[in-house]
Amino acid sequence: MNEDADKMSANLLPLSILCLVLALAPASGLQEFPDSPVTVKDGNLDSLVKLYSPLVIDCWKIGCGSCKLFSPTFDEMAKDLRGQVVFGKLCIDQNRKTKQKYHVSGYPTLLVFKNGILVYSHVGNHPKFELEDLIRSTLGLDSLN
């Protein structure tokens, strides 16, 4: 009888470890979505696009007045859509490969990725509710209203 109890006890330990790992893992199976924009660079763009879906990137330029005005709105959207969308910021002046790859010429430019693919780009600063609606409709997310 003791041998059976020892076998059962030995089998329960790996099971309890597995339960603990599953309990601590994000439900989506992906990295937990941050509530503030991540820093995007030429060197990490591809890995971020694979890690997070969907991903919305603000391509901004140093000295761009519209970009400065847009930055707080973008930060708010990251909080509003946490758990549904990851937001990132990329300085075009320091990341020319991305600028060329995605033909970014106006600022700010939003690049919207879903399942690793660029599905939409948007140029300009617009009211937050318009941008959130645009992002939701582009990505097929439920509206808050």
Cβ pair 57, 107 in contact under 8 A: no
Annotated catalytic residue, options 19, 59, 64, 91: 64
End-to-end CA distance of the chain: 62
In whole angstroms, give the CA distance from residue 42 to residue 102. Answer: 12
Q: Is residue 67 among the annotated active site residues?
A: yes
* Chain length of the chain: 145
Active site (annotated) includes residue 91: no
Of 96, 101, 120, nearest to 110 by C-alpha is 120
Q: With contact defined as beta carbons under 8 Å apart, do 33 and 52 qualify? A: yes
Q: Which residue in the list 19, 59, 67, 91 is annotated as catalytic?
A: 67
CB 115 within 8 A of CB 92: no
Burial bucket for residue 118 (CB in 10 Å: 0-12, 13-18, 19+)? middle
Give catalytic residue positions.
Answer: 64, 67
